[in-house]
Structure 1
Amino acid sequence: MAALVVLLLAAASWAWAGISRRRALSDLALRDDLTGQPNRRAVTRYAMAQFAQAQKQGTPLTLALIDIDHFKRVNDLRGHAGGDAVLRALAAASQAVLRTEDMLGRWGGEEWLLVLPRLQVDELPAVFARLRKQFALTPAEGIEGPHGVSFSMGGAEVGRDTPTLDALIAVCDARLYRAKTGGRDRLCHGDGAADDSAPTAGTATVVTD
């Protein structure tokens, strides 16, 4: 009987270890190796779930695409290790200022997708300001002093007439392009003409309708 109990315990331990390994591998498959943030697959899955819920329940949902400004220049001046450190700094900054239900996932390269459930697009400037400030204060490993890197953001809110998640992301992408071409270090979250004025020291430009 004692031998049977030991055998059963060993089998249970082996089974639990197998489950733990599979969970760990599943988690790794949804994480960006460099930053530890959700990868494109994970953030897309979350955005799709939130999009469906927002359309079904009529609750707000805002998405934003973020792109680090002049990232090629960062790599040229700091090396790829410096560029990687800047990416990790943005990930760390997001963890400090975003809500638990928000998700910032690495979309590709220096671009990120931010999913903001229950948040209206006119609240996005406050999110942009908090993240921008925290990013500027977050050290980048291997870079002495402030890293001096900024980012641009394009955001949009789901509407009842928004046909698909891809359509919403396309609006964000178009607005991100306007923010980049309008001078960078700014947010564009409306349909108005881009503001070409450069931000003053310590401030950023927000472009609305």
Structure 2
Amino acid sequence: MPSHHLTLRSAVSALTVAGIVAVTAPAAGAESAPHPRAAASQVKLEFVKNAKDPSNSILRVYDGKKLVAKYRAGSGLGTAADTGDKKKRYRNDCASSAGWLPNGTYKPTTFEINRNGDIKGYAIGLPDTWCSKRTVKRTALFIHSEMTKDRKQGPPHGADSPQRWDGPRDYKSNGCIKLHPSHIAALFSYMNHHGRAVSLTVR
């Protein structure tokens, strides 16, 4: 389990054994709805890459200048075990569907709670962006986890499934930012009360 602990001002009411908690806003529909008091959001996200182990990086949540939460997160297929060409590739932001997210500031585009594509359940959409060498535009970028479209966990048996969190290996991604299911649920719960994230800084 991740070593980073939540420090939310507004604690999540309950986490199930599978680590999923439903947001308090809509019961149906693709987009989450922030609390009315969250109209002028100051929520910002910061993803800090860990060059030694991209799958053990950090996503920080700020409300104004105050750090309110931090979670283990991954981006790209890299791990601490990578060596040689594999290490270079997975830390190359121009390696499409393999390398970590390019540095920069992103403005989230969507906030979905019932996404039903290759990525399911909670998902924060990010805009397409050029890699650092401007040779490849990275597309289909999200902050997400592994779950069903209804934010539950798939069957706990059989082969690795993109609809079930199986452990630390699931922090790997094709370039998106991946969170543990309970952590992305907590993030959405916080945003529902304090406002959607207005930016994501990657460094």
Normalized against structure 2, the TM-score is what?
Answer: 0.24
Structure with bigger strand share is: 2
Q: Which has the higher contact order (CA 8 A, sep 6+)?
A: 2
Structure with bigger helix share is: 1
